[in-house]
Amino acid sequence: MRAAAETGRTPPLEEAKIPWLRRNRPYLILLPAFLLTAGILYPFGVAIYYSLTNFSFKYEKHSFVGLENWVDMFSDPGFWHSLWVTAKYALLSTGVEMVIGVGVALLLNRESRLARSLRIVLIFPLMIAPVIATLIWQLMINSSVGVIGHALRGIGIVDFTWAADPDTALFTVVLIDAWVYTPFVILLTLAGLRSLPKAPFESARVDGGSAWFTFKNLILPMIMPFLLIALVFRLMVSLQEFSIIFALTSGGPGDTLMTLPLTAYTEGFTYKELGYALPHMLVLWLNVFFASRILIKYWSRAQERASGV
């Protein structure tokens, strides 16, 4: 301030008149939250370092090995398999949930007694931990106590083995994922549908537009921001889904369900090779990061378009 007075210039207002404590108030208020999480995120940086070492829980010492883990991983067919399984799982479960979720939401968006009461109870699965949901489904599909097993036997199917068969294992985990998370898509789509103005639809009806025409040209663009938010959240979370697969098959049968999180878990905690486990997760994290960036960009564009209509 004094320096400013000496040069005879009026100092920029906000920098000179406001005391330090006041000026940095937002940062100070944010500090506790930041300190609290910095302690957990510090390992995030450490992860990159350890991925360049041969660190193992089995030995005391570790040494710097450069890119060896990364090179090993990229030349390991198991890694490419994991990447493929992760993508398959995420795209399949997200796709199924989006389609069923939007469909059911459209059906629920009317004022019948059935729709009103279902709107309340259909969200229950979403509140249940995925690992618990897996147990609940075990009770359904188990060959000795499962009710579905009874029903299938009733119609003559006796050899449907769900998660134990490489051909149906993915179907089974996607089924459980869809059971838990479809209500999330339903909830967001319903919120979108409720935000729609009435007028355009009345004029569309007067003009004799078909239901499909109304949906495609009026409803869909307007609820797009809601659908994209649902898509972002579903995709990001299902890319890293661990507990459903872990509880159901631990990645098996064989390596059928070895997604990246399952592989990293096995390398890190079963084989105790932390240095080799970490690059798998760093690759996953990069994917999640960029996918979310792209989708969020789409989202803000869709939001502008929806409010522009």
- Residues 109 to 168 in contact with other proteins, rule: CB under 8 A: 114-115, 118, 120-132, 135-140, 142, 144-145, 147, 150
Can residue 13 be called a binding residue for other proteins (CB under 8 A)? Answer: no
Residues 6+ apart with CB under 8 A from 288: 236, 239, 240
Footprint of other proteins on 218-237 (CB under 8 A): 225-226, 229-230, 233, 236-237
Q: Which residue, 123 or 294, has its beta carbon nearer to other proteins?
A: 123
What minimum distance in Å lies between the beta carbon of 182 and other proteins? 7
Q: Which of 40, 155, 199, 206 binds other proteins (CB under 8 A)?
A: 40
Residue 135, CA distances (Å) to 157, 203, 228, 298 in order: 23, 50, 30, 37
Footprint of other proteins on 242-301 (CB under 8 A): 242-243, 247, 261, 264-265, 268-269, 274, 277-278, 281-282, 284-285, 288-289, 292
Residue 215, SS3? Answer: helix
Can residue 99 be called a binding residue for other proteins (CB under 8 A)? Answer: no
Provide the token pair at 64: 């710097």
Provide the token pair at 28: 């100070």
Residue 53, SS3? Answer: strand
Residue 64, SS3? Answer: strand
Can residue 79 be called a binding residue for other proteins (CB under 8 A)? Answer: no
Residue 191's Cβ-side half-sphere holds a number of Cα atoms within 13 Å equal to 12
Q: Which residue, 7 or 63, has its beta carbon nearer to other proteins?
A: 63
Binding mask 45-64 for other proteins (x = CB under 8 A): -xx--x--------------
Q: Which residue, 201 or 285, has its beta carbon nearer to other proteins?
A: 285
Binding segment (CB under 8 A) for other proteins, from list 38-46, 64-72, 164-172, 196-204? 38-46
Q: Which residue, 146 or 200, has its beta carbon nearer to other proteins?
A: 146
Q: Which of 36, 155, 199, 206 binds other proteins (CB under 8 A)?
A: 36
Can residue 306 be called a binding residue for other proteins (CB under 8 A)? Answer: no
Provide the token pair at 85: 């399984």
Residue 244: enclosing H or E segment and its boundaries?
A: helix 243-248
β-sheet bridge partners, residue 64:
53
Query: Contact at 8 Å (CB) between 238 and 93?
Result: yes
CA angle 268, 274, 279 (to 5 degrees): 100
Q: Which residue, 5 or 112, has its beta carbon nearer to other proteins?
A: 112
Can residue 171 be called a binding residue for other proteins (CB under 8 A)? Answer: no
Residue 238's Cβ-side half-sphere holds a number of Cα atoms within 13 Å equal to 29
